[in-house]
Amino acid sequence: MLQNIPSPKTACLLIIGNEILSGRTQDANTRTLALALNQHGIRLLEVRIIPDIEEHIVTTVTACRENFDFIFTSGGIGPTHDDITAACIAKSFNVSLVKHQESFTALEEYFGTERFNTARQRMAYLPEGAVPIADPVAIAPGFIIENVHVLAGVPKIFTATIAALIPTLPQGTALSMTGWHAYGLREGDFAANLTTIQENFPQLDIGSYPYEHPENGKGVALIVKGYHAEQVQDAARILHDLIITQGQTPLAGEP
């Protein structure tokens, strides 16, 4: 936990979709959300990937919305049989799905009366009390109900929606991150030292990341992250000196 520093608000991302769990589709939204939240001073504390199963979605949303400040969901907004996120969110909050007339009208204008069939009309039904999220790319709305933010899973739509949504949330101190890397470093040689540094900075996240460059060979990046920029810089200076004690040359940032 952060010491003498206000703890950032926490967030959880629920990625909903059998296609992710089967390996057919690769998740591209976690990094998008994490980077946006880091900059805004909200900590993405957990990510869960869950199937398109009603009971699983309902129980997961119900549990998570009580344990995190913000919940974001990705996937399950659309006209097909497996697009059940809105209905599951409604069940989690014990409310009904109701037609959102403004969204219904916008969808009808977009598709045209003849093509605006029952399946497409489903996309205009939101949990009672939900507020649509303006979608700069697609017409089908995401929505917010209390601390739950429901977004489409298509990366292009998700990214555009996040860019518009995150600035509207309460802002905290942005995550500060810096570090060093060096060729020739071996984790086993300095692991004990790194443990001591982490113990001296319990409020920070200090990571060691081995890498291999096709031309320059193997090395390790030492990265420090936290919500107190001054302490991050203090720890980074110590990591710089640690690399020197190993007989290597610290290089700023990641390889």
Q: Tens digit of pLDDT for each residue in 51-83?
A: 999 999 999 999 999 999 999 999 988 888 888
Report phi then psi at 61, rounded to 5. -60, -45
Per DSSP (E only), the strands in the chain are 9-16, 42-50, 70-74, 97-99, 125-127, 131-133, 142-145, 148-151, 176-183, 205-213, 217-226, 251-252
Per DSSP (E only), the strands in 69-216 are 70-74, 97-99, 125-127, 131-133, 142-145, 148-151, 176-183, 205-213
Percent over 90 (pLDDT), the chain = 84
Res 156 pLDDT > 80 = yes
What does the CA dihedral 51, 76, 41, 241 come to, rounded to 10 degrees?
50
Res 143 pLDDT > 80 = yes
Res 22 pLDDT > 60 = yes
pTM for the predicted model, two decimal places: 0.90
Could you read off the pLDDT of 114-141 as tens digits, one per residue?
Answer: 999 999 999 999 999 999 987 777 777 7
> Token digits for 147?
């601390």
Q: Which residue has the higher pLDDT, 126 or 2?
A: 126
pLDDT for 192 equals 96
Which residues lie below 8 Å from residue 87, measured CB to CB, with a gap of 6+? 54, 97
pLDDT for 246 equals 96
Report phi then psi at 209, rounded to 5. -130, 100
Mean pLDDT (whole number) for 35-58: 96
- One-letter amino acid at 179 equals G
Could you tell me whether strands 9-16 and 142-145 are parallel, antiparallel, or unpaired per DSSP bridges? unpaired
Mean pLDDT (whole number) for 37-48: 97
Q: Length of the chain, please?
A: 255
- pLDDT band at 200, cuts 50/70/90? very high
Of residues 86, 89, 20, the one with CA closest to residue 60: 89
pLDDT for 128 equals 96
Please tell me the distance from the alpha carbon of residue 146 to that of residue 71, in angstroms, as a whole number.
9
Please tell me the distance from the alpha carbon of residue 108 to that of residue 95, in angstroms, as a whole number.
25
